[in-house]
Amino acid sequence: MKRAAETLNFLTEHGISSYEELAERCDGAAAAAARVKADLRATEKEMERLTLTMKHTATYRQLRPLYEEYRQSRDKEKFLRGHEGEIILFEAAARELKRLDAVPLPAAQRLRAEMDELTARKAALQSEYRKANKKNGSTIPLVKTSACCLNSQRILYSRRKKRMNLNRWKN
């Protein structure tokens, strides 16, 4: 009963006069939450891509002088034996940067600024998602309660109708 009273108060406060209108609002809230969640996932994916780009860029810049030394050395085999790990890391970083379409190398400051921007956007989207989820979570019980109330009213109405029909036949 308490839940039904809360539901009725909510419906009158928000000017909802039919079950269809309530269901429409719930669908809108669910769609908004889904849209924000999709934006949040896209932002997180972009942050992951940017993190990888930053990591490979740093590795590339750090090992580039050594790789240039290797390319200019007369005895490449001997140089390779001494610096094989670093050269493999450099070549892997170069391959990954090409795969990530980060050629020519982006500036470190630009990458950091972009990461800061994405971090701020992620925080805003998380806040918006929490609000949308809260709104969506608060309307779902209302739909269930109003459906139960409407269903019980329909049952009562059909029982009354049956009684009235039975009473007509008795007379």
The separation between CA 70 and the C-alpha centre of its own chain, rounded to angstroms, equals 45
Q: Which residue in this structure is represented by tokens 């009354």?
A: 160
Q: Which pLDDT score, from 0 to 100, does residue 28 have? A: 80
Residue of 41, 33, 4 lying closest to 137 (CA atoms) = 33
Q: Please report, in tens digits, the pLDDT of each residue of the chain (171 residues total).
A: 666 676 667 667 767 777 677 777 777 878 888 899 999 999 999 999 999 999 999 999 999 999 999 999 999 899 999 999 999 999 999 999 999 998 888 899 999 999 999 999 999 999 999 988 887 666 656 565 655 555 444 444 455 555 555 545 444
What's the pTM value of the predicted model, to 2 decimals? 0.68
